[in-house]
């Protein structure tokens, strides 16, 4: 096997060797630097009367929300969503109608998923940080007071994303969860999304989407309350808005398009490998699906199977575009496969190999690891339990999936008696004077001298 051989095979390209993998498959461009599609760029130019970057476009929307509040939120949300409505907040009647509209089998599925995710995060909370007070110092662990849940999805409702974003906050004990979401053309919010929001613990839902929704949550408007932190994935404009609002409000993370890396050997079922690659590819044309295998035959067979399965998908055009962004990499052995996987640090890592437990200890960087053919990543999207909101773009090198910990904050406490003050004080005062901070030193010395 030569170190850098490439073969074009319909949608799924095949390369050989680590060098070719880095150059052509697992290399990344920052999500926020991706060039906008022509239609979006044209729309931005028409809106502002001049060509603007995505960053400039988002900044102008944020400024108008800061100045105009609800009026700007409604204006831009309705323009971009193609919707029309008079009331921003979803009423109790509309919420009730949603429960009456959603078929029972879908309601059962939502309830099942909510319960699974809630059970997992309750166990996670039990293993999380606890308040303590020891020898005069300690910490208080409290949930945040009010948070915003960006309920992503416009063309697709994505109730699963609502569940996986809101349930950890509900389990953590957040006082108030505020949901924002795109409306449908008639002004209603997708009923399945409303059902998911209510069962997941969201207290209020507002018709607001895109950067204007992020700005509304950060500033507060006449109708939408200001929150302490904003959670949830969204498109590039939502992501840029979260970046620009960070500091005024907390954010969970910066999320880019979804990505999956599958490590497979000759024992893997070819149709399952292809299915796992396509499951994430159908999300978005900017999604990335990567196969790493120690078998050229497996790579070629998967490439053929991808073509077969693409023809059966409702979102086949989207999936095909995404598949071309990734590729299949043939490596010398599975150890090298894990090495490249760690380098890529994928959101999802699927181990479709004969002995996955032998590889598991070597995995250092992944948002979630799906071990064996009976643990497909799609279960993680819906019912497995851990939040499917995971680090993307290589952030798994330093970041974690969304969890109850993201909805908690720690306050340090210091409570000493006079003896401890006198024991520590001279050292602290000496350090303060060595830094030239005489007021600091005086604050301590006055206490000790006044005894």
73-87: pLDDT as tens digits: 999 999 999 999 999
Per-residue pLDDT reduced to its tens digit, 51-62:
999 999 999 999
Instruction: Identify the pLDDT of residue 61.
Output: 98
Residue 35, pLDDT above cutoff 90: no
Q: Of the candidates 211, 248, 244, which has an alpha carbon nearest to the alpha carbon of residue 229?
A: 248
Instruction: For 66-170, list the strands marked E by DSSP.
Output: 132-134, 137-143, 146-151
What is the DSSP-derived secondary structure letter of residue 286? T
User: What is the value of pTM for the model shown?
Assistant: 0.93
Query: What residues does 262 pair with on adjacent strands?
Result: 291, 350
CA torsion sign for 319, 320, 325, 329 is: positive
Per-residue pLDDT reduced to its tens digit, 275-310:
999 999 999 888 999 999 999 999 999 999 999 999
Indicate the angle between helix axes 270-281 and 316-323, nearest 10 degrees: 100
Residue 133, pLDDT above cutoff 70: yes
Residue 154, pLDDT above cutoff 90: no
Per-residue pLDDT reduced to its tens digit, 346-359:
999 999 999 999 99
CA torsion sign for 89, 95, 96, 102 is: positive
Residue 9, pLDDT above cutoff 60: no
Active site residues: 347-348
Instruction: Identify the pLDDT of residue 2.
Output: 42
Instruction: Identify the pLDDT of residue 153.
Output: 82
Residue 3, pLDDT above cutoff 50: no
Average pLDDT of the chain is 95
Instruction: Identify the pLDDT of residue 31.
Output: 72
Per-residue pLDDT reduced to its tens digit, 10-28:
699 999 999 999 999 998 8
Domains and CATH numbers, the chain: 5-28+256-398 (3.40.50.1980), 92-251 (3.40.50.1980), 417-449 (no CATH)
Share of the chain above pLDDT 70, in %: 97
Listing DSSP states for 41-84 in one string gives HHHHHHHHSS---HHHHHHHHHHHHHHHTHHHHHHHHHHHHT--
Residue 30, pLDDT above cutoff 80: no
């Amino acid at each position: 096997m030569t170190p850098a051989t490439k073969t074009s095979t319909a949608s799924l390209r095949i390369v050989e060797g680590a060098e070719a993998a880095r150059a052509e498959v697992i290399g990344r461009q920052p999500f926020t630097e991706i060039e906008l599609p022509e239609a979006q760029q044209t729309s931005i130019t028409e809106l502002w009367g001049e060509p603007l970057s995505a960053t400039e476009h988002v900044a102008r929307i944020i400024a108008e929300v800061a100045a105009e509040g609800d009026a700007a939120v409604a204006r831009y949300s309705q323009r971009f969503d193609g919707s029309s409505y008079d009331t921003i907040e979803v009423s109790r009647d509309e919420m009730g109608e949603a429960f009456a509209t959603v078929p029972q089998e879908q309601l059962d599925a939502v309830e099942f998923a909510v319960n699974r995710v809630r059970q997992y995060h309750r166990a996670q909370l039990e293993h999380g940080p606890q308040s303590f007070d020891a020898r005069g110092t300690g910490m208080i662990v409290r949930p945040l007071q009010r948070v915003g849940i960006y309920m992503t999805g416009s063309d697709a409702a994505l109730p699963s994303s609502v569940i996986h974003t809101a349930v950890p906050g509900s389990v953590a004990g957040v006082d108030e969860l505020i949901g924002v979401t795109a409306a449908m053309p008639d002004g209603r919010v997708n009923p399945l999304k409303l059902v998911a929001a209510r069962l997941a613990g969201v207290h209020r839902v507002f018709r607001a989407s895109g950067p204007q929704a992020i700005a509304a949550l950060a500033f507060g408007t006449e109708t939408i309350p200001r929150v302490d932190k904003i959670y949830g994935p969204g498109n590039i404009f939502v992501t840029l808005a979260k970046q620009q609002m960070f500091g005024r409000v907390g954010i969970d993370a910066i999320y880019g398009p979804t990505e999956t890396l599958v490590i497979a050997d000759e024992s893997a079922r070819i149709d399952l490998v292809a299915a796992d690659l396509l499951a994430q590819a159908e999300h978005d044309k900017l999604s990335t699906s990567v196969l790493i295998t120690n078998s050229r035959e497996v790579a070629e067979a998967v490439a053929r199977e991808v073509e077969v399965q693409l023809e059966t998908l409702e979102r086949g055009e989207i999936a095909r575009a995404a598949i071309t962004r990734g590729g299949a990499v043939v490596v010398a052995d599975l150890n090298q496969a894990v090495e490249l996987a760690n380098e890529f640090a994928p959101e999802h890592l699927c181990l479709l190999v004969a002995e996955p437990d032998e590889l598991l200890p070597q995995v250092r960087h992944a948002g979630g690891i799906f071990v064996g053919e009976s643990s497909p990543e799609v279960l993680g999207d819906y019912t497995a339990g851990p939040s499917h909101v995971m680090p993307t773009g290589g952030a798994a090198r330093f970041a974690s999936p969304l969890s109850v910990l993201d909805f908690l904050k720690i306050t340090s406490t210091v409570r000493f008696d006079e003896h401890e003050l006198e024991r520590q004080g001279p050292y602290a005062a000496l350090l303060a004077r060595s830094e030239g901070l005489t007021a600091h030193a005086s604050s301590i010395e006055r206490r000790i001298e006044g005894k």
